[in-house]
């Protein structure tokens, strides 16, 4: 394995970890804002 393979695998692992975190955050609707919550967050 050369450095390019190592860097590619490292980046792929980080990406998959972030995708997994995102899936957990939105699982069952948790993590999503309602339209009213969004408006209150942006000050409308």
Q: How far apart are CA 40 and CA 44, in angstroms?
A: 6
CA dihedral defined by 31, 35, 41, 42, rounded to 10 degrees? 130
- pLDDT band at residue 2, thresholds of 50, 70 and 90? very high
Domain range annotation of the chain = 3-42
Query: Rounded to 5 degrees, what angle do the CA atoms 39, 42, 43 make?
Result: 80
pLDDT score of 29 more than 70:
no
Q: Which residues, in sequence order, are CB contacts of 9 under 8 Å at separation 6+?
A: none
- pLDDT band at residue 13, thresholds of 50, 70 and 90? very high
């Amino acid at each position: 394995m050369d450095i390019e393979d190592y860097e590619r695998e490292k980046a792929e692992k980080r990406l998959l970890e972030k995708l997994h975190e995102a899936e957990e955050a939105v699982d069952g609707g948790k993590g999503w804002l309602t339209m009213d919550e969004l408006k209150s967050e942006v000050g409308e």
